[in-house]
Structure 1
Amino acid sequence: MAKVMANSPALVKGWLALSGALSGGVLPAPVRERLAIATAEYNNCTYCLSAHTYIGAHVAKVDAEELERARHAESTDPHAAALLALSGAIARGRGHIDETQLKTARAAGVTDAEIAEVVGNLALNILTNYFNVLADTDNEWPVVTPHTHG
Structure 2
Amino acid sequence: MSATSSSVARVPLVDPANATGTVRAVLDQIHGAFGATPHMFRAVANSPAALQSMWGAFGALGGGVIGAGLGEQIAVAVANRNGCNYCLAAHTALGRKAGVSGEALAAAQSGESTDQRTAAVLRFALKLVNERGQVDAADVQALRDQGLSDEHIVEIVAHVALNLFTNYVNVALAVPVDFPGVKLRPAR
Q: In structure 2, what residue type is equivalent to 1:66?
A: A
Worse overlay, 6-15 or 87-96: 87-96
User: Residue 138 of structure 2 aligns with which residue?
Assistant: 100
Post-superposition, which runs of at least 4 consecutive aligned residues in structure 1 deviate over 4 A? none
> Aligned pair 1:49/2:94, yes or no?
no
Deviation at 1:147, TM superposition (A): 2.0
Shift in Å, 1:98: 2.9
* CA displacement at 1:68 relative to structure 2: 0.7
Aligned residue type for 2:105:
L
1:1-150 superposed matches below 5 A: 1-57=40-96, 59-149=97-187
1:83–1:110 Cα contact (<8 Å) kept: no
Unaligned runs of 5+ in 1: none
1 or 2, which has the higher helix percentage? 1
* SS of equivalent residue, structure 1 residue 69: helix
Give the TM-score of the pair, scaled to structure 2.
0.76
Larger radius of gyration, structure 1 or 2?
Answer: 2
Equivalent residues of 2:110, 2:187 under 8 A apart: no
Post-superposition offset of 1:124: 0.4
Distance in 2 (CA, whole Å) between partners of 1:50 and 1:40 is 9
Secondary structure in 1 aligned to 2:165? helix
- Most deviating of 33-42 and 136-145: 136-145
Structure 2 CA distance for aligned equivalents of residues 105 and 88 of structure 1: 13
Aligned CA RMSD, in angstroms, stands at: 1.2
Give a deviation string over 1:83-113, Cα, whole Å, max 9, x none. 1111111111111113222222211112101
**Offset from partner CA, 1:42-79 (integer Å, 9 cap, x none):** 1000000000011111x211011101110011111111
Partners of 1:128 and 1:139 lie apart in 2 by 13
Question: CA offset at residue 25 of structure 1?
Answer: 0.4
Aligned residue for 2:64, secondary structure, equals coil
Give the CA deviation at 1:149.
4.1
Provide the rounded CA distance (Å) in 2 between the counterparts of 1:119 and 1:29.
Answer: 15
> Is the 1:45–1:133 contact (alpha carbons within 8 Å) kept by the matching residues of 2?
yes
- Structure 2: 5+ residue stretches without partners: 1-39
